[in-house]
Amino acid sequence: MRSGWAGDGQDRASPATIRATERGAPQNASRVAHGATACLRSDLARARVLADSFLAFHPGGSFTILVVDGPRHAGAAGAGGSEPGLAIWAPGMLATGSRPIESILPSEEPEVARRAAGPWLASTLFDLGRSPLVLLHASTLVLGSLEPLTDAAARSGAAFVPRLIDSSVAHHSAHATEDVLAAGIVDQGIVALVDGIGSRAWLAWWKSLDHEVPGGQRAFDLGPGFGHALVRDPGIGLSRWNLHERRVVDSPDGPTAGGSPLRTISFEGLLSTTELLWTDDRSAPTPPYEPGEPLYELASEYLARVAALAE
């Protein structure tokens, strides 16, 4: 089954993607960009939806999916995908030098392995000439060119995205604010990197962290402190953490969030569109979007596509 988000003769195209294509977003992307994600086998369908959505807006680029709990050797997992520009990697394809892969990606702790894989995946892709590179969580959907993010990374080596950008919007509770602080001020599910001394140094530091402890799980928080860019665009990094400050509105040119073209949305933890149910009930409560609202329709399309690929 073809996994192209834009569909083909047998698959219905996403209305959001159709509108974006009509307004010329993929054709207007002036810089070739590459994307990647590290995921578990249980999230492979989501990763393929992500890959298709990324490639739709970054012609000439590539997307790499690393399945951290799959077969360890490349020959067993296969290095390719059925779509142009897509590659599916086994852990054995990472360039780890003299370090055994098991010491980096512990097979008995797949979630720890997923978090630890990011810097190794990025440096391996840099060695293959894949720059600029955007690392994304597997449950992300791309709805526009990420050139604003890669352009910021070109100036400082890396570009990060904050979870919250509007301090004037009151949080629903102090408890929700504490959860944001615990999860990380910077979104851990998106970062753009451009190969160079600064980004390589940050990747080396990221590799040195213990990903089983809270500090290692919040590696991105220190990125801006190291001089890298922090991109405060409400259309990048939409997630359950910030829906209360960025209303999704449809427009003739496609959906917007907080008045900015919607470029990425994270559906991490989304189970169904019944009241837009996320598994993490400790996050900030979401607005009561109803059927027919842009966010509800995007979530419905996304879950349907994931379900089709999981069959």
In a domain, 214, yes or no: yes
The yes-or-no verdict on residue 39 having pLDDT over 70 is yes
CB-facing half-sphere around the CA of 272: CA atoms within 13 A? 2
Structure tokens at 204: 């080396």
As a whole number of angstroms, the distance between CA 121 and CA 89 comes to: 10
Per-residue model confidence (pLDDT) at position 139: 96
Q: For 116-125, 199-208, 224-233, 243-252, which range has the lowest pLDDT when averaged over its residues?
A: 243-252
> Which one is predicted more confidently, 222 or 158?
158
DSSP class per residue in 209-254 = S-TTSHHHHTGGGGTGGGT-EE---TTSSB-TTTTTTS-EE--TT-
Contact 89, 66 (CB under 8 A): yes
Structural domain total, the chain: 1
- The identity of residue 295, as a single letter, is L
How much is the average pLDDT of 174-187?
A: 73
Structure tokens at 71: 């077969």
The yes-or-no verdict on residue 212 having pLDDT over 50 is yes
How much is the average pLDDT of 126-150?
A: 97
In a domain, 82, yes or no: yes
At residue 148 the predicted structure's pLDDT band, cuts being 50, 70 and 90, is very high
Q: Is the overall model pTM greater than 0.75, yes or no? A: yes
In a domain, 4, yes or no: no
pLDDT tens for 7-20 read: 333 333 343 443 34
Indicate the SS3 state at residue 144.
Answer: coil
In a domain, 26, yes or no: yes
In a domain, 1, yes or no: no
Per-residue model confidence (pLDDT) at position 29: 41
Per-residue model confidence (pLDDT) at position 146: 97
Residue 84 belongs to a domain with what CATH number? Answer: 3.90.550.10
The percent of residues above 70 in pLDDT, for the chain, comes to 75
Omega cis (within 30) before 132: yes
Contact 200, 223 (CB under 8 A): no
Which residue segment(s) compose the domain that 82 sits in? 15-310
> Which one is predicted more confidently, 50 or 101?
50
How much is the average pLDDT of 78-98?
A: 81
The percent of residues above 90 in pLDDT, for the chain, comes to 52
In a domain, 149, yes or no: yes
Long-range contacts for 105-113 (Cβ within 8 Å, ≥24 apart)? Answer: 105/68, 107/69, 107/72, 109/212, 110/40, 110/68, 110/69, 111/40, 112/211, 112/212, 113/68, 113/69
Exposed (0-12), middle (13-18) or buried (19+): which is 75, by Cβ within 10 Å? exposed
In a domain, 10, yes or no: no
Per-residue model confidence (pLDDT) at position 270: 83
Max mean pLDDT range (181-185, 200-204, 292-296): 200-204
In a domain, 2, yes or no: no
Q: For 32-36, 71-75, 179-183, 262-266, which range has the lowest pLDDT when averaged over its residues?
A: 71-75
Phi, psi dihedral angles at 159 (to 5 degrees): -135, 130
The yes-or-no verdict on residue 121 having pLDDT over 70 is yes
